[in-house]
Structure 1
Amino acid sequence: MNALWDNAAFLAEGLALSLGLTVIGVLGGLSLGTALAALRLFGGRAGGAVVDVYVFAFRAVPLILVIFWFYFMVPLILGRPVGAFASAVVAFVLFEAAYYSEIIRGGLASVRPGQMNAALACGMSRVAALRYVVLPQAFRAMMPVFLTQAIVLFQDTSLVFVVSLHDFLTAAAIVANRAGRLVETYLLACLVYYLVCLAATAAVAKMRRSAP
């Protein structure tokens, strides 16, 4: 246990990276996913076709390959190195957006059409009705699914080892090999992942119970 305590700061840095990537991936993916869902629903056939291609392309490729691909592609597009962290962020946001767009599309479709019609009849524009009437209802119903996807993303942050980022699991592996405490270190890693996922799962369960 002394070896784990001596490396606590290093492990904490890895956990902070994993949590940070999760938060950025969720917020960025949710923002882009909302835009994609709106384009699919209100962009006509052309907009829907573009979103269909985007969603299929990212859902058909493993996340680890997306991370690795963007690690080399982003510097080529920008003409300068951007670093492993920035490349991983781009990969996570674009990858998660494909899933969130499908979740949001389903949530928007679940809101009764009468809600939009009633808002339009009250003099609201279509954009205002979507923002103030439809989206709040859709997001409230979709929140448990959002959190479930965030849990999956937190677990998937361990894949950034392919671009030499020291996430929590990578940090744990380094400590385990350096200190020769494989069993204790990996048990600690399992416990941390379990506690984080347990807290998020409890939040999902609570939201499901309170959802109308």
Structure 2
Amino acid sequence: MNLDFSFLSWEFIRGFILNGLYFSLLLTLVAMLGGILLGTLLALARLSGKKFLAIPAQIYVDTLRSIPLVMVILWFFLLIPLLIGKPLGTDVSAVITFTLFEAAYYSEIMRAGIQSVPKGQVNAGYAVGMNYPQVMRYIVLPQAFRNMLPVLLMQTIILFQDTSLVYAIGAYDLLKGFEVAGKNFNRPVETYLLAAVVYFAICFTLSMGVRALQKRIQIIR
């Protein structure tokens, strides 16, 4: 193999990579925030003890966790416009899909975090006159988020990796930027190798940060 990286320059990065990287990071951030919020609501519904809340939430989580993400992406991109009568657009479709899909995974993480809080603290909250929403807001959820923060962040790193699947609907993400560059410079092998290096560098750095945060949390405990 005769690899040639002579095309690598600031113009290459600015023209092909930065826009894709921006979209991938933005999609990750929005899907993380929306997924954690919706996932927390799903976790609370499953732990509420009320069947009319717990059963639909469980069906939602089990269904999405059993379907490949790329299939869900195609469903929302192709089927939802038929139902609402107008196209969503690749960016909007990707945001909605990832938020709803990741909520199923964040829900299980949050459910484990909520269950990790000792029941004695919950009972103590009720004993001083708090109601269920207050106990969750002031006692359970703050501790659950702290307990599960490293796992939530690791799931977010996986989410960033999964954003590359938006190629299925033609969205311009980080991987798409490298792909387009490879076609323009007629160097697909080199650009895919660079893509792998960039993804590895970002994810490895974030993983090291999560490990450091986990050690710090353990020291606080």
Match of 2:12 in 1: 7
Query: Deviations along 1:167-198, whole A, 9 cap, x unmatched?
Result: 11111011112102234322321221112112
Query: Which segments of 5 or more consecutive residues in structure 2 lack a partner in the other structure?
Result: none
Query: Which runs of structure 2 are paired with 1:165-204 in the superposition (5 Å)?
Result: 165-204=171-210
In 1: Cα distance, 2:166 partner to 2:13 partner? 21
Runs of 4+ residues deviating >6 angstroms:
none
Percent of pairs with identical residues: 45
Deviation for aligned residue 1:43: 5.0
Match of 1:144 in 2: 150
Count of residue pairs brought into register by the alignment: 212
Query: Bigger CA drift: 189-198 or 63-72?
Result: 189-198
1:23 maps to which of 21, 29, 37 = 29
Contact 1:74–1:87 (Cα < 8 Å) also in 2: no
Query: Bigger CA drift: 54-63 or 196-205?
Result: 196-205
Deviation for aligned residue 1:28: 0.8
Query: Which segments of 5 or more consecutive residues in structure 1 lack a partner in the other structure?
Result: none
TM-score, reference length from structure 2:
0.91
Query: Which runs of structure 2 are paired with 1:1-212 in the superposition (5 Å)?
Result: 1-5=5-9, 6-9=11-14, 10-42=16-48, 44-211=50-217, 212=221
In 2: Cα distance, 1:210 partner to 1:44 partner? 37
Larger helix share, 1 or 2: 1
Contact 1:4–1:185 (Cα < 8 Å) also in 2: no
In 2: Cα distance, 1:45 partner to 1:184 partner? 54
What secondary structure is seen at the aligned counterpart in 1 of 2:8? Answer: helix
Query: Bigger CA drift: 42-51 or 124-133?
Result: 42-51
